Structure 1
């Protein structure tokens, strides 16, 4: 089922906001908790980002396709899975 454009855009906005908060928040917390060890900071950030992205894709994928990366949207438009008009809104 494809949701209407407004619902898809709201899902994309919420998903992008959560992804941004996860990346920034996990970077800050990883830096604070790693006591200067850059490898641990990057590992914590990568795991948190991967877990959050998986949850976001599973949650918002059925609604909007979970195009949190503009390259995904452009690729879908180029393959005619999404109209260029709709992709400009994403």
Structure 2
């Protein structure tokens, strides 16, 4: 990663937008096409997620490290593979990029850009699954 910080931030923003748009968009499309079969929807979403991660990491790894996730950035800063100043710049760009990507997916499927979730996402099981997903 020899790119200047602005270039690295732009790569993280673009990667976050494309990653979230793909994950959210494939989830929406999978739910619409699966006719109530959540297993098919989940499989389609997983395949799209893996594919876009391969592409994005291949495209942006040399520019920004292809973190796209504040947890990854935190680990890189803790391991001293990047400065804390750069890490603190990455995090808001990553969050903003993913928010824009989610809104882009909603726009592509003619949904409201901002929505309130109807699924409960709290409790010990949710917390454990987030830890496993982040560390795994």
TM-score by length of 2: 0.65
Counterparts of residues 1-90 of structure 1 (less than 5 Å): 1-90=1-90
TM-score by length of 1: 0.97
Tell me the number of residue pairs that the alignment of Structure 1 and Structure 2 aligns: 90
- Runs of 4+ more than 4 Å apart: none
Cα RMSD between the aligned structures?
A: 0.8
SS at match of 1:72: helix
Unpaired runs of 5+ residues, structure 2, are: 91-136
Cα distance in 2, alignment partners of residues 8 and 69 from structure 1: 14
Unpaired runs of 5+ residues, structure 1, are: none
